[in-house]
Amino acid sequence: MAKNPLHCSFCGRNRDEVKILIAGQEGHICENCVEHAREIIEQELMVRDEKTAPSSFKLTVKKPMEIKKFLDEYVIGQDEAKKVLSVAVYNHYKRLQQKSENTGSEIEIEKSNIVMVGETGTGKTLLAKSIARMLNVPFAIVDATVFTEAGYVGEDVESILTRLLQVCNYDVHAAERGIVYIDEIDKIARKGDNPSITRDVSGEGVQQGMLKLLEGTDVLVPPQGGRKHPEQKLIKINTQNILFICGGAFDGIDKIIARRVQTNTIGFNVDKDLQENMKKNLLRYVNAQDLKTFGLIPELLGRLPVTTHLDPLDAPTLRAILTEPKNALIKQYKRLFELEGIHLQIEEDTLDFMVEKALEYKLGARGLRSICEGILTDAMFELPSSKETTFTLTLEYAKRKFDKSKLSLLKVA
């Protein structure tokens, strides 16, 4: 009778099927099973560490005026939006501290999610990025346009939290007190006036999927984003302490506001100057009713209690954006030329010309970047190969280059 050949007691492979077979008192183990065992141990220890280890994100509380002062260094104007954001972020800090310090308190502070309304290029995303630079809590910026209703091509709403997890290196405790900025929220507006007449896959369906997320619940999140599938290991996150800030251009909402505030009143006692002033910046009168008419569902608006606006950019503001912030456009271009050993000088009337064109084409602060690129592309192409050490951007040069650029072909609305 033949003896049993040596084999691994775990996987059953014979001696000649493995490279190494380690002997024990009553059995053997192969190198494959040792490797699998090591992976299982590491995973288990990591899960336990996540539950017990203190988070690497320590709260550093800043007062609302300090937050606004920091934002002033990067964003010109928009004082109203800065105040609202500063207060919301500060209250978010206080709310988190109250939960950790005084768990027995009967008063529970609710979070104030925000929705920001402003034309393109007025600084919504820049405000969010500037806050992210200053804060010591996980901060993620996501785009609402990629989300669709569950079961359709696109991303599930839960992948909003995947971005937050990735920012804090999958530290669940830190992610549960982070801040999420959802950009382009207006792109998921309800497509038709009549709700649920057809399936609105990337509009109302997404809004409904976001309801529990914004309010606060336990959400199972796919670690790599995308769609959930049965074999996937999901991470559970509680969203009760995550602050959501939403932003969007809401193109056409000014007409909805105009109908509500009745700017076209006629009669002898009408203050025409007041009416003209109101028409210049109708967004300052925006409220939840206007957003509902635009296409956001009432249940979502109830979870976004704070509504603020960003003012359209006028000539002095655009002029300041060019030169004043820490990362102002002109400073960026001067630095680019410096790296080539060239000193860039820009005449004052050239800056005024850029502002005038940006206003003309209604592209906001982003339009300034396009105009600068159109004017300076030839100089940035030719000068690195030359021996020039200074370059002066004159009005005549700027006009000549702008007229040759594609931007000059844009039709003014």
Per the CB < 8 A criterion, the answer to whether 144 and 182 are in contact is: yes
Query: How many whole angstroms separate alpha carbon 336 and alpha carbon 43?
Result: 47
Alpha-carbon distances of 280 from 260, 285, 287, rounded to whole Å: 15, 11, 17
Distance of CA 156 to the CA centre of its chain: 17
Alpha-carbon distances of 269 from 132, 265, 273, 410, rounded to whole Å: 49, 10, 12, 41
- What per-residue confidence (pLDDT) applies to 34? 92
In this predicted structure, the answer to whether residue 391 has a pLDDT above a threshold of 90 is yes
- What per-residue confidence (pLDDT) applies to 171? 87
- What per-residue confidence (pLDDT) applies to 352? 92
Pairing relation of β-strands 235-238 and 218-221? antiparallel
In this predicted structure, the answer to whether residue 52 has a pLDDT above a threshold of 80 is no
Contacts of 82 (CB under 8 A, 6+ apart): 68, 71, 72, 75, 127
Match 């997890």 to its residue by tokens. Answer: 165
User: Residue 345: which of 403, 382, 395, 399 has the closest Cα?
Assistant: 395
pLDDT over 90 percentage in the chain = 29
In this predicted structure, the answer to whether residue 413 has a pLDDT above a threshold of 50 is no
In this predicted structure, the answer to whether residue 11 has a pLDDT above a threshold of 80 is yes
Half-sphere exposure of 108 (CA within 13 A, CB side): 5
Distance of CA 82 to the CA centre of its chain: 16
- What per-residue confidence (pLDDT) applies to 312? 87
Q: What integer is the mean pLDDT of 12-18?
A: 88
Higher-scoring residue by pLDDT: 4, 384: 384
Residue range 256-283, pLDDT digits in tens? 888 888 655 555 555 666 666 666 778 8
- CB-based burial label for 84 (10 Å; 0-12, 13-18, 19+): buried
At 351, the pLDDT band (50, 70, 90 cuts) reads: very high
List residues bridging with 180 in a β-sheet: 140, 244
List residues bridging with 29 in a β-sheet: 22
Q: Which of 130-139, 219-228, 242-251 has the lowest mean pLDDT?
A: 219-228
Residue range 92-143, pLDDT digits in tens? 888 877 765 655 567 777 888 999 999 888 888 889 888 888 877 788 999 9
Q: Which of 20-24, 52-56, 298-302 has the lowest mean pLDDT?
A: 52-56
User: Which runs of E-coded beta strand occur in 285-378?
Assistant: 306-309, 343-346
Pairing relation of β-strands 114-117 and 243-248? parallel
Question: What count of other Cβ atoms lies within 10 Å of the Cβ of residue 338?
Answer: 11
- What per-residue confidence (pLDDT) applies to 2? 44
At 79, the pLDDT band (50, 70, 90 cuts) reads: very high
Question: What count of other Cβ atoms lies within 10 Å of the Cβ of residue 42?
Answer: 10
Tokens of 391: 């370059």
Distance of CA 86 to the CA centre of its chain: 16
- CB-based burial label for 134 (10 Å; 0-12, 13-18, 19+): middle
Q: Which of 95-104, 164-173, 286-295, 380-389 has the lowest mean pLDDT?
A: 95-104
At 330, the pLDDT band (50, 70, 90 cuts) reads: very high
Higher-scoring residue by pLDDT: 132, 184: 184
Query: How many whole angstroms separate alpha carbon 91 and alpha carbon 131?
Result: 14
Contacts of 204 (CB under 8 A, 6+ apart): 190, 191, 195, 196, 297
Q: What integer is the mean pLDDT of 201-214?
A: 85
> Mean pLDDT score of the chain, rounded to an integer?
83
